C-alpha cells in the first residue's frame, strides 16, 4: 500500500508547504502529484492533510506517515550512499569556494553531514572574495563554486540549489521605514553597504539599480554580514541581503526589511561544477545533501528547477 515515493512526497509537502513547490521538488507536475496523493488517500480511506490551509496542516494520519518518513528516508539515503561506494568512487577531492559569507549558515551543516558519509573525500573551502573562483573551477583548481552569478563557461554545469528573495535592510529610524518596498531612485541618497566584490556580481546593481540607471550616494564595503547589520542598525547605511541571511535579525526586531521593487527581487543560488564530475557518486550526494539541508535550514526559500537556471554570458 505504501511506497517510498509516497513518503518522499509527504516529506516534500511538509518542507515546501504547498503542492506547487512540492511537485517541483519531487520532479512531478502538480496534476501528477495531486493524483498520487488522492490515490494514496483512497487506499487509506482518509485524508492526509487539510486542503486550502496556509501553512499546510496535516491530519493525524498524515502526521503518522510523516513520522514513518522520518524513520525510513534517512535509512534509504544511507543505503544509497553505501551502494554508491560499492560501485566505486569512494574517494576523491572536493575543493570549493563560496561567493558570500551568508552561505555558511547552510553550508557548514551540509559539510558536517557530508564528512560523516564520505570520510575519504578530501574537503577544502575558500572564500570567493579575493579571487575569481569560476575560472579556477574551469582550470581544475576548484571542484565546486557556490554562486548566484553564473557565467557561460565551456564545460561548466550549474546545478540550481534554491531561489531566494533579496531584501533591503534598513534601520527602524530610517525615513523609508514605513514603506513596504523601495524603488531604485530612492537609493540615490543612501550609503549602500556591500560585500567587497565587483558590482556586476551583485544583484542589487545588476538587476535593480543599473537597469534603472540609478546610483547610491556612496558604497561602503565589509566582508562580514554581522557588521553590515550593525551599520544598518546604527543608521549608517542600508544593505541588500538574502531573506535567510537577515531572518534572525528581523525576528529579534533589530532591523526592517523592504522589498526591492513592488514585485520583489528574486535570485537563484547555484552549485557550479565541471560537467565530467556530474556523475561522480560523492559529488551527486553532496548536491543532494546541500539541497536537503537548505530546505531544512533556511526560511522562505523556493525550489529552483534546471529549466529555471539560465546563465549569463
| Residue of higher predicted confidence among 102 and 7 | 7
The per-residue pLDDT for 307 is 45
Ranked by mean pLDDT, the top range of 44-58, 118-132, 249-263 is 249-263
CA distance linking residue 55 with residue 57, whole number of Å: 6
Helix (H) or strand (E) holding 107: helix 104-117
- Residues 146-168 have a mean pLDDT of 92
The per-residue pLDDT for 101 is 62
Residue recorded with cell 511537485: 23
| Residue of higher predicted confidence among 187 and 105 | 187
The per-residue pLDDT for 88 is 65
The per-residue pLDDT for 205 is 95
Q: What is the pLDDT of residues 287-313, one digit of tens each?
A: 999 999 988 888 888 988 664 444 444
Identify which of 123, 135, 129 has the alpha carbon closest to the alpha carbon of residue 96: 123
The per-residue pLDDT for 149 is 84
Distances in whole angstroms, Cα of residue 84 to Cα of each of 42, 283, 293: 36, 11, 20
In this predicted structure, the answer to whether residue 130 has a pLDDT above a threshold of 80 is no
Residues 6+ apart with CB under 8 A from 273: 137, 143, 144, 156, 157, 159, 283
In this predicted structure, the answer to whether residue 90 has a pLDDT above a threshold of 70 is no
Q: Count CB-CB contacts under 10 A for residue 141.
A: 13
Q: What is the pLDDT of residues 232-274, one digit of tens each?
A: 999 999 999 999 889 889 999 999 999 999 999 999 999 999 9
Residue recorded with cell 549569463: 312
Confidence of residue 180 (pLDDT cuts 50, 70, 90): very high
- Residues 98-106 have a mean pLDDT of 74
The pTM of the full predicted model, rounded to 2 decimals, is: 0.71
The per-residue pLDDT for 82 is 73
Q: What is the pLDDT of residues 55-69, one digit of tens each?
A: 789 999 999 999 999
The per-residue pLDDT for 209 is 96
- Residues 174-192 have a mean pLDDT of 95
Confidence of residue 129 (pLDDT cuts 50, 70, 90): low
The per-residue pLDDT for 196 is 85
Mean residue pLDDT of the chain comes to 88
In this predicted structure, the answer to whether residue 106 has a pLDDT above a threshold of 60 is yes
Amino acid at each position: 500500500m505504501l511506497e517510498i515515493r509516497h513518503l518522499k512526497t509527504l516529506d516534500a509537502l511538509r518542507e515546501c508547504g504547498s503542492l506547487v513547490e512540492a511537485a517541483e521538488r519531487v520532479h512531478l507536475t502538480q496534476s501528477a502529484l495531486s493524483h498520487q496523493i488522492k490515490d494514496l488517500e483512497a487506499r487509506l480511506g482518509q485524508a492526509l492533510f487539510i486542503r486550502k490551509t496556509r501553512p499546510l496542516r496535516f491530519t493525524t494520519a498524515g502526521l503518522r506517515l510523516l513520522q514513518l518518513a522520518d524513520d525510513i528516508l534517512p535509512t534509504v539515503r544511507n543505503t544509497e550512499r553505501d551502494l554508491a561506494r560499492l560501485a566505486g568512487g569512494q574517494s576523491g577531492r572536493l575543493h570549493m569556494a563560496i561567493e558570500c559569507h551568508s552561505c555558511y549558515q547552510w553550508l557548514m551543516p551540509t559539510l558536517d553531514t557530508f564528512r560523516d558519509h564520505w570520510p575519504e573525500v578530501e574537503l577544502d573551502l575558500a572564500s570567493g572574495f579575493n579571487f575569481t573562483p569560476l575560472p579556477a573551477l574551469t582550470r581544475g583548481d576548484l571542484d565546486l563554486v557556490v554562486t548566484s552569478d553564473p557565467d557561460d563557461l565551456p564545460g561548466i554545469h550549474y546545478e540550481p540549489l534554491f531561489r531566494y528573495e533579496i531584501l533591503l535592510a534598513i534601520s527602524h529610524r530610517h525615513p523609508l521605514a514605513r514603506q513596504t518596498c523601495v524603488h531604485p531612485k530612492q537609493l540615490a541618497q543612501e550609503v549602500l553597504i556591500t560585500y567587497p566584490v565587483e558590482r556586476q556580481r551583485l544583484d542589487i546593481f545588476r538587476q535593480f539599480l543599473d537597469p534603472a540607471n540609478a546610483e547610491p550616494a556612496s558604497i561602503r564595503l565589509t566582508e562580514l554580514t554581522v557588521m553590515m547589520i550593525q551599520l544598518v542598525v546604527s543608521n549608517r547605511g542600508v544593505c541588500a541581503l538574502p531573506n535567510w541571511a537577515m531572518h534572525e535579525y528581523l525576528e529579534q526586531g533589530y532591523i526592517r526589511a523592504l522589498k526591492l521593487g513592488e514585485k520583489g527581487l528574486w535570485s537563484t543560488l547555484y552549485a557550479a561544477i565541471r560537467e565530467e564530475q556530474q556523475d561522480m557518486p560523492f559529488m551527486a550526494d553532496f548536491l543532494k545533501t546541500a539541497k536537503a539541508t537548505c530546505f531544512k535550514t533556511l526560511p522562505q526559500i523556493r525550489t529552483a528547477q534546471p529549466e529555471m537556471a539560465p546563465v549569463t554570458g
